[in-house]
C-alpha cells in the first residue's frame, strides 16, 4: 500500500500527458457493448494487448494493461477461475485484465477490484503467489477481489463501520466459501485453505486501494474460516451476507444466540459447533499455527 501510494503521486504528475496518448485506446474498449466485450476477452486472450503506458492512478505510470499473463497456461487458469467464481454466484464474468510493468516489475504487486465491473491483477503478485504458494493462492486472491464485485452489485455489506473492515472481512469470507464449494475450488480440507490464506495475507496489498483498517490478522482468519464453514450450504450473495454477519457480529460482540437466525435456522445447528472456535481464532487464543491445523 505504501509503495502503491508513492506511485499514485508519480502517476498523477504524468497523468495529463499520458491520458491524451491513451484516449483512442480507451474509447475503443468502452465503445464495445457490454456483452461483446465480455465474450471477446475470453475468446481472444492476447490479441487485445494494449501498448498504452497509463493504466490509471492506482498503478505505476509505466504500467501496461494486458489481456493475458506471461504464459498461456497461467492466463487460462485465471480466466477459468474467473468464470467459476462468477458462475458460483450466478453471474457472468467481470472484466479481468492483467497489469505488467517491464521497467518496474514490483510495482504490479497488487490486485484491484473496481466498482465499474473490472478486476486488474498485477503480474508481480500473480508470479509471487504462484511461486510461493501455488495456484490456490491466486484463486483465493481472485475470489476475494470478486467478493468486492458482489458488494458493488448487491450493495453489500449490510453491516457498516467507519472503516473498510466489514468489506474486507466479508471478501475474505467470500473467498473461503468459494474454495470449499463443490462447484467452486472444491477443497474440503481446511488446512490447505488456511495455509493459502496465510500466504495471501502475508504478501499484503491485494486489498483494494483503501488505506482503511482491514481487520486484524486474527479477525481475518476468523472471517475466512467462517466463509469456509458456510460453504457447507448453497447460499446466494445476500444470504451469504446475512449469515456471515449474523455469526461474525455474534462472535465479535459476544452476542451470538441473543437473537435468532431467522433466515436459516437449520444453519444454526451446524454453526453452533464452531462458534467458540471462531471466537478463539478472533481473539488469538487459537494461534496462526493452530489455525493451519483446523479440520
Give the separation between CA 16 and CA 272, rounded to whole angstroms: 56
Report the nearest approach of Zn ion to the CB of residue 168 (Å): 5
Cell numbers placing 111:
490486485
Cell numbers placing 54:
497509463
Cell numbers placing 211:
488505506
Report the nearest approach of Zn ion to the CB of residue 266 (Å): 30
Based on CB atoms, which residue is closest to Zn ion, 136 or 171?
171
Based on CB atoms, which residue is closest to Zn ion, 81 or 207?
207
| DSSP conformation class of 52 | -
Report the nearest approach of Zn ion to the CB of residue 249 (Å): 19
Based on CB atoms, which residue is closest to Zn ion, 204 or 284?
204
Report the nearest approach of Zn ion to the CB of residue 255 (Å): 26
Residue closest to Zn ion, measured at CB: 207
Report the nearest approach of Zn ion to the CB of residue 207 (Å): 4
Query: Within the chain, where are the H helices?
Result: 2-31, 34-43, 72-88, 123-133, 135-154, 165-180, 190-202, 217-230, 237-253, 265-271, 275-283, 288-291
Based on CB atoms, which residue is closest to Zn ion, 107 or 207?
207
Report the nearest approach of Zn ion to the CB of residue 115 (Å): 13
CA 95 to each of CA 29, 38, 61, 142: distance values in angstroms, whole numbers, following the listed order: 11, 7, 21, 12
CA 253 to each of CA 154, 162, 214, 283, 294: distance values in angstroms, whole numbers, following the listed order: 25, 17, 17, 11, 23
CA-based nearest residue to 125, from 109, 142, 103: 109
Give the separation between CA 58 and CA 143, rounded to whole angstroms: 20
Binding site for Zn ion (CB under 5 A): 168, 171, 207-208
Based on CB atoms, which residue is closest to Zn ion, 93 or 207?
207
Based on CB atoms, which residue is closest to Zn ion, 96 or 171?
171
Amino acid at each position: 500500500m505504501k509503495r502503491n501510494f508513492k506511485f499514485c503521486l508519480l502517476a498523477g504528475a504524468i497523468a495529463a500527458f499520458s491520458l491524451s496518448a491513451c484516449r483512442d485506446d480507451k474509447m475503443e474498449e468502452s465503445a464495445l457493448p457490454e456483452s461483446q466485450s465480455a465474450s471477446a476477452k475470453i475468446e481472444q486472450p492476447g490479441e487485445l494487448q494494449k501498448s498504452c503506458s497509463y493504466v490509471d492512478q492506482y498503478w505505476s505510470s509505466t504500467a501496461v494493461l494486458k489481456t493475458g499473463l506471461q504464459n498461456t497456461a497461467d492466463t487460462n487458469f485465471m480466466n477459468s477461475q474467473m468464470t467459476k467464481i462468477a458462475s458460483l454466484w450466478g453471474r457472468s464474468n467481470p472484466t479481468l485484465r492483467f497489469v505488467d510493468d517491464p521497467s518496474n516489475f514490483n510495482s504490479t504487486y497488487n490486485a484491484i477490484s473496481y466498482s465499474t465491473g473490472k478486476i486488474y491483477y498485477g503480474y508481480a503478485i500473480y508470479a509471487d503467489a504462484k511461486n510461493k504458494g501455488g495456484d490456490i493462492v491466486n484463486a483465493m486472491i481472485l475470489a476475494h477481489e470478486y467478493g468486492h464485485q458482489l458488494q458493488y452489485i448487491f450493495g453489500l455489506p449490510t453491516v457498516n463501520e467507519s472503516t473498510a473492515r466489514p468489506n474486507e472481512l466479508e471478501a475474505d469470507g467470500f473467498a473461503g466459501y468459494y474454495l470449499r464449494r463443490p462447484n467452486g475450488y472444491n477443497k474440503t480440507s481446511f488446512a490447505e485453505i488456511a495455509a493459502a490464506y496465510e500466504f495471501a495475507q502475508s504478501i499484503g496489498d491485494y486489498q483494494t486501494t483503501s488505506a482503511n483498517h482491514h481487520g486484524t490478522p486474527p479477525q481475518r482468519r476468523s472471517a475466512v474460516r467462517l466463509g469456509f464453514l458456510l460453504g457447507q450450504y448453497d447460499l446466494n450473495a445476500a444470504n451469504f451476507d446475512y449469515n456471515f454477519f449474523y455469526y461474525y457480529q455474534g462472535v465479535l460482540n459476544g452476542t451470538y444466540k441473543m437473537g435468532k437466525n431467522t433466515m436459516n435456522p437449520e444453519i444454526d445447528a451446524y454453526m453452533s459447533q464452531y462458534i467458540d472456535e471462531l471466537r478463539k481464532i478472533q481473539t488469538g487464543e487459537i494461534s496462526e499455527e493452530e489455525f493451519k491445523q483446523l479440520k
